[in-house]
Amino acid sequence: MSTSSEDLPTYEDIVAASKTIAGVAHHTPLATSRILDTKLGVRVFLKCENLQRMGAFKIRGGYNAISHYMKDDSFDFKGVLTYSSGNHAQAIALSGGLLNVNTTIIMPKDAPPLKVEATKSYGGSVIFYDRYTENRDEVAIKVKKTLPDGTVFIPPYDHKYVIAGQGTCGKEIFEDLQHWKGTYNDAQTEEAIALDYLFVCVGGGGLIAGISLAAAAISPNTKIIGVEPEAGNDAQQSMAAGKIITIETPRTIADGAQTQHLGNLVFPIMQKHVSKIVTVTDEELIEDMKFFGQTMKMIVEPTGCLGLAGLRKMVASGEVPKGSNCGVLISGGNVDLERYCKLISSGSG
């Protein structure tokens, strides 16, 4: 499906996006945990996009993309159509509400109810489809015919201005670490910190593509590691094959990463700037949901736990040496409380 923005984003687009979203999206904090650092033997900085407005980083890309079309005089912009399993839907609905733009969102009928309700409450019109039997691109083409001319399709990840928007959260991480003030091993520290690794969850790849572009410009020695669910390792397969591999919709609790393939814009950026992709199991995600809740007093959705689970795995395997500085992206916190309780009371520990 055409997006009318098919050239690759650059770091300059991320800088511009930062200005566009300033005062709309939160500049989220970097959190640390002595317990975690001691346990892993590395120094960890957690970027808390679970504390982002509407509960996930997606507001960055959604708001940036809609703002882009509002500034475009070449056509009569009439509204936005998109599809999403949840957080991009909310981001588009909320951004549309803030910018006074009509939004129509195609959602899987088994999307988490909290995400569906939130999308409606922000003013988005929701249309349901069956993600296991219907092709959402085909559904989108059908729905678009019913909407006014001048309606633009903004996909969840494969879009220049979505990627640039998501990249702003990488820019914030590296900039905040350039003059880091915090407590480490009970001592107040004020120093520049260079990340050796940054762990980022991968769904369609918009987030990691944007962050890896920011890293390449600001912190080129940082290795960007993608983390995806074991049940859906299409990114790992694609990087190994050198081409985009499509898989069946994976069955995993990480609903933000139930994508079937990476995006065409995202993939070349990942090939250039992402060092490695690791996979983790649903059980490992649950362990980290418990850690975030118990130790850090944060509700993190399953997909948001991918980054930390990936870091744990590479520390355990010895691939991340002791003493490394590691960034972890916590991508979101949108999970129904009932589902959250069920998940954290399942499994061991």
Shortest approach of ligand PLP to residue 9 CB, angstroms?
Answer: 13
Asked if residue 295 lies in contact with residue 14, where contact means CB atoms within 8 angstroms, the answer is no
Burial label, 319 (beta-carbon count in 10 A; 0-12, 13-18, 19+): middle
Shortest approach of ligand PLP to residue 202 CB, angstroms?
Answer: 5
From the candidates 85, 212, 219, 331, give the one annotated as an active-site residue: 85
Q: Which residue sits closest to ligand PLP, CB atoms considered?
A: 332
The answer to whether 85 is a known catalytic residue is yes
From the candidates 18, 47, 58, 219, give the one annotated as an active-site residue: 58
Q: Which is nearer to ligand PLP, 50 or 324 (CB)?
A: 50
Shortest approach of ligand PLP to residue 284 CB, angstroms?
Answer: 15
Q: Which is nearer to ligand PLP, 209 or 326 (CB)?
A: 209
The answer to whether 160 is a known catalytic residue is no
Shortest approach of ligand PLP to residue 296 CB, angstroms?
Answer: 17
In the numeric block, which tokens belong to residue 103? 């939004």
Asked if residue 156 lies in contact with residue 84, where contact means CB atoms within 8 angstroms, the answer is yes
Q: Which is nearer to ligand PLP, 86 or 96 (CB)?
A: 86
Asked if residue 344 lies in contact with residue 298, where contact means CB atoms within 8 angstroms, the answer is no
Distances (CA, A) of 229 to 166, 283, 316: 20, 10, 18
Q: Which is nearer to ligand PLP, 43 or 333 (CB)?
A: 333
Residue whose entry in the numeric block shows the structure tokens 């689970």: 309
- Which helix (H) or strand (E) element contains residue 187? strand 187-191
Shortest approach of ligand PLP to residue 87 CB, angstroms?
Answer: 3
Q: Which is nearer to ligand PLP, 177 or 209 (CB)?
A: 209
Specify which residues 325 forms β-bridges with. Answer: 43
Residues of this chain that bind ligand PLP (CB under 6 A):
56, 58, 87-88, 156-157, 201-208, 256-257, 259, 301, 303-304, 331-332
Asked if residue 53 lies in contact with residue 75, where contact means CB atoms within 8 angstroms, the answer is no
Which residues are tagged catalytic? 58, 85
